[in-house]
């Protein structure tokens, strides 16, 4: 994840993530073997686990050893995993983390129900953490759903597509990172002001992380990023670099509109669109927007006491910029 941390903090976070993995394995276990298998499909595939990492780092502003911290981190990750099952159904995605997606391996119905099952398991964990934690997770899930619905419906007549897009990713991506910061602080016993700061950091960092993904999807080749460039384009998702480019009235923007309208019938058309985007000023505008969000995330940490945890969070804000370089 690009965190620069002192050895003691790094060791504590690694140990905490190992405990989170154990709770995840326990949470997806069912008396019905098929449910266990389908639920473990993504749990066992790994992932960045950056949301639990934010929970654990936020806890270091109070008592990181509080037992509720690990359970909150697991609940957050279960919520994230549940959204991936649903996303793959909506996107008709054949792959997830290099393996067949749940909907491709089984059916859309199974993937939807497993996603619901993981939501329920996350809620069960937070119920043991108290009513406020349960309320925060419930509100976050509602915000995630609203963000996805907003993306599905599209901008309202007269609404700026870029403002709409930023609202979408704030809802469907950043809200869960915000909840990670808030719950990590709360469960460790931090004061409400600290919890508010860490929630704000999580939201701004979450937006920045998504914007960095948008830029990588356009600007990086597969050997650099490990991902197939143009994945969002192929799926018809208009990310920030594309939206900025479409604002133009230059020949590159006109040709990009033609390609998008045609729906990409070949890899060559996708590559042409990527070349147009890489040469368009819209990519630099997207980088500037990323810089704004990452800097805002870093700046909001200023009132917190200096220390290893604050430095680690600041390094996350720096990382989302560096990973697009």
pLDDT at 223: 47
Which two three-digit tokens encode residue 109? 């119905």
Please state, rounded to an integer, the average pLDDT across all residues of the chain.
90
Give the whole-number percent of the chain exceeding pLDDT 70.
93
- Model confidence at 222: pLDDT above 80: no
| Structural domain count, the chain | 1
Residue 241 lies in a domain: yes
Residue 228 lies in a domain: yes
Q: What is the CATH number of the domain that holds 97?
A: 1.10.600.10
Task: Determine which of 16-30, 84-98, 258-272 has the lowest per-residue pLDDT on average.
Answer: 84-98
Residue 161 lies in a domain: yes
Which two three-digit tokens encode residue 101? 């997606």
Mean pLDDT in residue range 25-34: 90
Residue 2 lies in a domain: no
Residue 1 lies in a domain: no
CA-closest candidate to residue 193, choices 82, 93, 302: 302
CA-closest candidate to residue 182, choices 69, 74, 293: 69
Mean pLDDT in residue range 248-254: 90
Structure confidence by residue, pLDDT tens digits, 114-137: 889 999 999 999 999 999 999 999
pLDDT at 266: 87
* Residue 297 pLDDT class (50, 70, 90 cuts): very high
The predicted model scores a pTM of: 0.92
pLDDT at 225: 45
Residue 56 lies in a domain: yes
Cα 219 from Cα 157, distance rounded (Å): 31
Structure confidence by residue, pLDDT tens digits, 200-211: 999 999 999 999
Residue 220 lies in a domain: yes
Structure confidence by residue, pLDDT tens digits, 66-78: 999 999 999 999 9
Print the domain residue range for 120.
7-322
Helices (H), the chain: 7-27, 33-43, 50-59, 67-91, 102-105, 108-127, 131-153, 161-169, 175-187, 192-219, 222-225, 231-234, 240-246, 251-262, 267-279, 281-299, 308-322
CA-closest candidate to residue 70, choices 50, 53, 48: 53
CA-closest candidate to residue 144, choices 126, 121, 161, 119: 119
Task: Determine which of 102-111, 161-170, 266-275 has the lowest per-residue pLDDT on average.
Answer: 102-111
Contact by Cβ (8 Å): 245, 282: yes
């Amino acid at each position: 994840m690009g965190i620069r941390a002192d050895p003691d903090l790094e060791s504590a976070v690694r140990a905490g993530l190992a405990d989170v993995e154990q709770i995840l394995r326990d949470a997806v276990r069912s008396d019905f073997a098929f449910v266990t298998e389908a639920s473990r499909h993504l749990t066992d595939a790994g992932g960045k686990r950056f949301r639990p990492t934010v929970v654990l780092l936020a806890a270091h502003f109070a008592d990181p050893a509080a037992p509720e911290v690990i359970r909150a981190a697991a609940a957050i990750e279960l919520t994230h995993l549940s959204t991936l099952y649903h996303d793959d159904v909506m996107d008709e995605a054949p792959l997830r983390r290099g393996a067949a997606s749940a909907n491709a391996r089984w059916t859309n119905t199974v993937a939807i129900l497993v996603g619901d099952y993981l939501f329920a398991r996350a809620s069960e964990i937070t119920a043991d953490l108290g009513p406020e934690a349960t309320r925060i997770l419930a509100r976050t899930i509602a915000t995630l759903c609203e963000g996805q619905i907003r993306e599905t419906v599209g901008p309202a007549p007269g609404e700026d597509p870029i403002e709409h897009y930023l609202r979408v990713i704030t809802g469907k991506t950043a809200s869960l990172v915000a909840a990670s910061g808030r719950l990590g602080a709360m469960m460790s016993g931090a004061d409400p002001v600290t919890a508010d700061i860490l929630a704000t950091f999580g939201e701004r960092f979450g937006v920045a992380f998504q914007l960095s993904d948008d830029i990588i999807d356009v600007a990086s080749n597969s050997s650099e990023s490990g991902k197939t460039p143009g994945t969002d384009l192929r799926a018809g998702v208009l990310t920030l670099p594309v939206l900025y480019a479409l604002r133009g009235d230059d020949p590159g923007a006109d040709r990009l509109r033609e390609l998008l309208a045609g729906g990409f019938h070949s890899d060559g058309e996708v590559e042409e669109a990527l070349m147009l985007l890489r040469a368009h000023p819209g990519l630099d505008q997207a980088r500037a927007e990323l810089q704004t969000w990452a800097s805002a995330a870093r700046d909001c940490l200023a009132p917190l006491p200096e220390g290893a945890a604050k430095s680690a969070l600041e390094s996350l804000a720096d990382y989302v910029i560096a990973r697009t370089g």
